[in-house]
Amino acid sequence: QELPPICSDVRQKQRLSIDTLPPEVKAPFPSDPIIPLRTKTTKEFQEDTERAVQSGDWREVREFYLTTFDSFIEINAAFKVGHVNKHNRQSPQDIQKSVLKGIINSLLREWKGTSTYVIYAHLLRQIAVLSEADHHFLVHWLKKLSARRFRQLVERLLQFISTRLFPAEPDELPPLTKCSWWIPSATKVLSLFNAANSVSSPPIMPFTDFYNITLEHIDFMEEYRTWQNYGNSNRFSFCQFPFILSTVVKKAIIQKDSEQQMISQARQSLVSKVSRRQRVDMNLLFLNIKVRRAQLLSDSLDELTRKRCDLKKKLRVTFVGEAGLDMGGLTKEWFLLLVRQIFHTDYGMFTYMKDSRCHWFSSWKCDNYSEFQLVGTLMGLAVYNSIALDIHFPLYCYRKLLTPPTVPCDQNALVGMAAATLDDLQQIMPELAHGLGELLSYEGNVEEDFYLTFQVVQEEMGAIKSYNLKPGGDKIPVTKQNRKEYVQLYIDFLLNKSIYKQFAAFYHGFHSVCASDALMLLRPEEVEMLVCGSPELDMSALQKAAQYEGYGKTDSTVRCFWDVVLAFPLELQKKLLHFATGSDRVPVGGMADLNFKISKIDVPIDWLPISHTCFNQICLPPYRTRKELKQKLTIAISNAEGFGLE
């Protein structure tokens, strides 16, 4: 019996199915499918297989499989009978691998209708349920793919997930109830690509390219609750695979989680008052911070220490002697001034590293590390209240902050002791890291030429102090044999042990506010983005997202405003952003998330522009010339501290 020929209506069916796909998943392919190249009958194929078994020469069978499994038309024709698949299972492993390779390549090259999605989904399920050892093998195989091919496969998987979540037509794919395993399988396979990317040095593609922005439109809080309740069990949640969730989604989860905690905290305070029949003061719903500008740091420390039970309430700041009401602007101002004072070199808590342009913890010893706890609390409050801070910590600091991501139950457990490498030291002390790198690669006599021991010296508050990296370290010379141990111990001393108490206080301060399971979803880079926002100012993006009240975007005053702002140097652009919003940082969602508004104010044109930082709004008098607007705007944004009411 001969294998059935391709029927005449196959091409028409394929055209109909491809037309139902959304534009983004339509891959280019020839308009007319190629007629099958295979002409063998089943009997001829069986004879070829029997000869191969006897002679050990599988070339003809291999050629048949390569031709057949290189396109769906060939596969469909061949698999209408089961002999090909049966004989494939009897063939040597390299023949079976050729078949699998052909199937994968044709699946990834051609997307032609519902049947293709179904086959692709089944393939993904088979990969997803492989053993851990096979997954390990696959990860190392994926590492060897070209960057272009690797990216193609990742994008195809992301596209498959998006199409399954939001098909272009309701009946384009099988009902979700019948194929609920599609998305979990695809996500698990995608996690193998993410693992391969993570263990590659440098990564094959940026980790942000694994984000699926489609997930910004699903009920991600339901995903989060499922993950909280079931963890990494068989109940699937995207939160089990946080690499696929964008920073926008993670920020939203943290904010919603924070809001729930804020509401819960406020409700408890309210119920407590009512149950004791006390008069309810609406202030109990807020974390009220009252400070004097002249004693900003000490007042803030006292307030946060006294009110540490209220840290999860909505923050509200009052500056003594000023009539400004805090609708968000005063809070931003408080953060800005406090951070500026804490990180000033004269204050001594942090050392500014000129070569790496970042701050690091001072190693001086003291009896009270409460001010480091204050900085951690500030950072936690900033994330909790969606305020971006102008803080310059190295990425390694955020890795320490996530070690572990939730506070251990055991109060004596070590925190912040993240494994440190020479690359981590390079982020903070590049010159020292370079010197240690030279020590590791030195070909000469290490002991005689370097004359080092397992003892290091540090300057603390003007005094030189020595520390042994291991017991009796001052008597142990560094040699070619033990230099790796010396370098590792030295790095660990600098980045962990010498600042342990400072960082532990900082860690507990941060987590006293941000005690959320959502932190387990974050990479260090994403924590940095949540704390600091983005330093990249794109004023053109701000212009596109701007809203207007009293003006139109084509009015001469508005056109002059943007001409001036786009021509400003970076420093003045930062001052403008600070003037209008209370912060010179861009939030996670970009300029569009600022809801920046330009309003018309009917006052004489000799007035300066006015801002409402609570609402990210700038009010412009109807200036007539570009020169006039530039002069008034520059004066306003350069003198923008302090709040008052008229």
Residues whose CB falls within 8 Å of the CB of residue 146, separated by 6 or more in sequence, listed in order: none
Q: Look at residue 445 in the predicted model and tell me its pLDDT.
A: 94
List the domains of the chain with CATH numbers. 42-80+91-241 (no CATH), 256-398 (3.90.1750.10), 422-515+523-531 (3.30.2160.10), 539-639 (3.30.2410.10)
309 catalytic? Reply is no
Tens of pLDDT, residues 360-405 = 999 887 777 888 998 999 999 888 887 888 888 999 999 999 999 9
The amino acid present at 596, given as its one-letter code, is F
Residue 491 has pLDDT above 50, yes or no: yes
Q: Which residue has the tokens 């920073």?
A: 247
Q: Look at residue 91 in the predicted model and tell me its pLDDT.
A: 66
Q: Look at residue 51 in the predicted model and tell me its pLDDT.
A: 86
Q: Look at residue 237 in the predicted model and tell me its pLDDT.
A: 94
Alpha carbons 579 and 587: distance in angstroms, whole number? 16
Beta bridge partners of 319: 291
* Of residues 378, 365, 373, 393, the one with CA closest to residue 337: 378
Residue 29 has pLDDT above 70, yes or no: no
Of residues 573 and 644, the one with the higher pLDDT is 573
Residue 71 has pLDDT above 80, yes or no: no
Alpha carbons 528 and 393: distance in angstroms, whole number? 8
Helix axes 370-384, 329-342, angle to 10 degrees: 150
* Residue of 397, 409, 532, 614 marked active site: 614
Residue 280 has pLDDT above 70, yes or no: no
Residue 549 has pLDDT above 80, yes or no: yes
Q: Look at residue 8 in the predicted model and tell me its pLDDT.
A: 35
Among 283-292, 320-329, 494-503, the range scoring the smallest mean pLDDT is 320-329
- What's the pTM value of the predicted model, to 2 decimals? 0.74
Q: Look at residue 490 in the predicted model and tell me its pLDDT.
A: 96
- Mean pLDDT value of segment 33-48: 66
Q: Look at residue 645 in the predicted model and tell me its pLDDT.
A: 35
Tens of pLDDT, residues 578-603 = 888 877 778 777 787 788 999 999 88
